[in-house]
Amino acid sequence: MARLSHAKVLILIVFLFLQLLGAFVKATPISNSPFLFEPALTELEPLDEITLSVSGTHGEVLWNVLKGEIRGSGNQVIYIAPRQPDFEIIEVTDAAGKSGTLTFEVRGFVELQWDNVLFFLFVGLIGGLVSGFLGASGAFILTPAMMSMGVPAIVAVASNMCHRFPRVFMSAVKRVESGQADIKLSVIMGLSAIVGVICGAFLQTTIQTRFFDVGSNFYVSIVFIITLAIVGGLGLRNAWKISKWGISEKSFKINKLAQWVRGVKIPLTMVYFSSLGTQVSWLFIIPFGFASGLLAATIAVGGFIGVPAMMYVLGASGLVASATQLVLAFLIGITGTIMYAFYGFVDIRLAMILLAGSLFGLQLGTISTTYAKDYMIKMVMGVLMIMILLSLAMKVPVYLSNMAVIDRLNPGTVNLLEMSNFVLLVLALVTAVGMIFYAFIRGYLKYHKEESLWDEEFAMSPMTESEPFPTSASQLSPIGRFEKILVVTDGSDLNVGAIREAIRLAQRSEGSLSAMSVVLTNPEHESLAKQLIEKENYDALAHLENVRTRANEAGVPCEITVRHGIDIYHEILDEAEQNQADVIVMGSRGLTGLKRFLIGS
């Protein structure tokens, strides 16, 4: 918790520092020159062409430009702006050796061509891949990646928020329907997060107006560097602890801070939260919701505050915290999109490209976690964050130079720093992909090697002469007879075949059959949607009665059970353990090939 407090102090210092920069940076184009440039440039967009002239020179004139292109020679030339928004410097030197510079910004949306469209699509895919693998937002990749391609920070943040809220909408709805998200906690944190987004967007636009895009780039980069240093450092430390000492953080315990927060009773502010099982003052909740919204409006990621706060300050479980954060992410995303769209900073083209890539990458990332170890997941997160941090740090001197806070850097140094920024970013993305697929392939091979050894062990087990050779009527498996068979069904058409095969299996093995269904519910749903749950329970029982009737007609004894819970697989495993089931029969969607690989069977 102390680390979170230090982060807030550092971010506050950055805010104050940016305000002090106002004494050094003017809100008009800078002309440090004994010459007179015409026209006086105020604002250009990518690939704009203008005729630019200079007077007050002696003899021949030499033009140099940092980003754009100069066509022609003499005192009047044609200037072509770069294809992406950037800070521009035009330098003129005459025959007498005198030189003058004109600095301004090229604003607007980046010019999309096939090369950067493919790059943004690739970045979106990596962002989705990381999101699925880490179980957390990979949006911390997208904003720096867009900035490295010349997209202004404020446009990158706005487009990132726009791409994300449609993607989390369905996930948030599913979590709410399954009862994993705490409705009251979502409402209180959501409202305060919306206020935080509004304030953060106002701060962003104020900085951009006062210090241009270069000031906004610097502000976002500093906040990113501080945040990634804290979160990435903690991730690497935890990965090292788990890999060396085998310390797992999966066991959920309420710490002393959460116990203290729960014990503080403030009149007129106490609210009962079913997911916490106790009352907590909303005065402890609002600041974290506000901070999440403020951080999201700054770097397009707010989960770095929301999830830890819910787990370590309020004492919520990881499942509840992640589910509630999805609801917050949707509210934050749609609010930020509306706010930044009002100011004209949302590039819908970038948002759609990133969304297309992330939807595919999310499926791959989710599959990759199947065989990944917990420490490897944390290791990927830590390494990726530190590498992106270093990438962002490369351009900080360029921003300070363009704002005239430090001495002007020569073009060669600027190009070197910008190239280093891009190379480190690409290296980070490639490293993340490599580590994720390495973890997946290694875990997959290890799992199947152990499975093969297990099969060989039973296949090589000797059979004595006194043992009769197994027949289909008495035994179906070399590892034993199936006496207790559990069939799981939800009443859909996908389970018709499973029910039929379960009854046949019970007939051939002369075993008993148990049929079960799971009704998704939790205490919150039981109080708010009692009639709906009763209907689902009635429908499940009616379906199971039909299963029992079919089994009895086939001469198979059958018991039926309806269980209630949040996680279906937990209920199935618990039922199987209680009844000591020998085999579990379930339906399959029958998907094959690419569909099965991406979605599952």
pLDDT single digits (tens) 546-570? 888 888 888 888 999 888 876 777 7
Sheet holding 30-32, edge to edge: 30-32, 99-106, 86-94, 61-65
For the chain, counts of helices (H) and of strands (E): 17, 14
Residue finishing a domain among 419, 445, 471: 445
Q: How far, rounded to the nearest angstrom, does the alpha carbon of residue 478 sit from its chain's CA centroid?
A: 46
Per-residue pLDDT for 197 more than 70?
Answer: yes
Does 550 reside within a domain? yes
For the ranges 85-94, 110-119, 310-319, 516-525, the lowest mean pLDDT is seen at: 516-525
Does 465 reside within a domain? no
Q: How far apart are the first and last CA of the chain?
A: 42
Does 15 reside within a domain? no
pLDDT of the residue at 177: 74
Residues 358 and 334 in one domain: yes
Residues 494 and 414 in one domain: no
pLDDT of the residue at 466: 42
**Bridge partner residues of 280 (DSSP):** 271
Spatial separation of the C-alpha atoms in residues 383 and 371, rounded to whole Å: 20
CA distances from 477 to 41, 448, 498 (A): 82, 20, 18
- Report strand pairing: 86-94 vs 278-281: unpaired
Residues 52 and 85 in one domain: yes
pLDDT single digits (tens) 267-290? 999 999 888 888 999 999 999 999
486 token code pair: 């559990």
Average pLDDT, the chain: 78
As a whole number of Å, the CA-based R_g of the chain is: 31
Spatial separation of the C-alpha atoms in residues 126 and 362, rounded to whole Å: 8
CATH of the domain at 45: 2.60.40.10
For the ranges 186-190, 248-252, 286-290, 431-435, the lowest mean pLDDT is seen at: 248-252
Residue finishing a domain among 85, 106, 127: 106
pLDDT of the residue at 417: 93
Spatial separation of the C-alpha atoms in residues 551 and 560, rounded to whole Å: 11
Spatial separation of the C-alpha atoms in residues 201 and 216, rounded to whole Å: 11
Residues 386 and 405 in one domain: yes
Residues 278 and 363 in one domain: yes
Residues 409 and 276 in one domain: yes
- State the amino acid at position 560 in one-letter form: I
Does 538 reside within a domain? yes
Within 13 Å, how many C-alpha atoms sit on residue 36's CB side? Answer: 3
pLDDT single digits (tens) 124-149? 988 888 877 766 667 788 999 999 88
Residues 391 and 507 in one domain: no
Question: Residue 49's pLDDT band (boundaries 50, 70, 90)?
Answer: confident
Q: Residues 6 or more apart from 63 whose CB is under 8 A from it?
A: 70, 73, 77, 90, 91, 92
Does 326 reside within a domain? yes
Determine contact, residues 561/575, Cβ cutoff 8 Å: yes
Residue with tokens 């709410």: 176
Residue finishing a domain among 445, 474, 503: 445
Residues 390 and 263 in one domain: yes
DSSP-H helix ranges across 403-495: 411-459
Question: Residue 437's pLDDT band (boundaries 50, 70, 90)?
Answer: confident
Does 452 reside within a domain? no
CATH of the domain at 529: 3.40.50.620
Spatial separation of the C-alpha atoms in residues 337 and 483, rounded to whole Å: 58
Residues 290 and 167 in one domain: yes
For the ranges 93-107, 466-480, 558-572, 575-589, the lowest mean pLDDT is seen at: 466-480
Residues 336 and 269 in one domain: yes
Question: Residue 527's pLDDT band (boundaries 50, 70, 90)?
Answer: very low
Higher pLDDT, 43 or 398: 398
pLDDT single digits (tens) 590-601? 555 544 444 445
The total number of structural domains in the chain stands at: 3
Q: Residues 6 or more apart from 142 whose CB is under 8 A from it?
A: 123, 124, 127, 156, 160, 163, 300, 354
Does 22 reside within a domain? no
Residues 381 and 492 in one domain: no
Question: Residue 150's pLDDT band (boundaries 50, 70, 90)?
Answer: confident
pLDDT of the residue at 578: 83
**Averaged pLDDT for residues 405-429:** 90
CA distances from 174 to 130, 180, 488 (A): 21, 9, 21
Residues 495 and 411 in one domain: no
Does 1 reside within a domain? no
- DSSP assignment of 84-137: S-EEEEEEEEETTS-EEEEEEEE-SPPPP-HHHHHHHHHHHHHHHHHHHHHTS-
Question: Residue 468's pLDDT band (boundaries 50, 70, 90)?
Answer: very low
Spatial separation of the C-alpha atoms in residues 363 and 368, rounded to whole Å: 9
Domain residues for the domain of 60 are: 30-106
Which of 45-54, 182-191, 254-263 reaches the highest mean pLDDT?
182-191
